[in-house]
Amino acid sequence: MKKTGILNRDIATVLSQLGHTDTIVVGDCGLPIPQHIKCIDLSIDLGTPSLVDVVRLIMKHMEVEKITMASEIKL
């Protein structure tokens, strides 16, 4: 059993398959997602985990080449 890093198997799989110029989107529960797009739902309660917490964790374990976010979000 994995004890460190990103423990969610779906997220770990997606991140391990990313290459240069590939893109992922991290959004809150209001983000419309087309049916054909893979969606990994992490919601436990409204606002938990926070979008910022998820982005920070991903950035801690990945080499991020570029990030684009709404101006209201503060990392």
Q: Which tens digit of pLDDT belongs to each residue from 11-55?
A: 999 999 999 999 999 998 889 999 999 999 999 999 899 999 999
Tell me what the mean pLDDT of segment 41-70 comes to: 92
pTM: 0.81
Tell me what the mean pLDDT of segment 3-10 comes to: 91
Asked if residue 56 has pLDDT above 80, the reply is yes
Tell me what the mean pLDDT of segment 54-64 comes to: 92
Q: What is the residue-wise DSSP string for 20-56?
A: TT-------TT----TTS------SBTTBS-HHHHHH
| Active-site residue list | 20
pLDDT value at residue 19: 92
pLDDT value at residue 70: 86
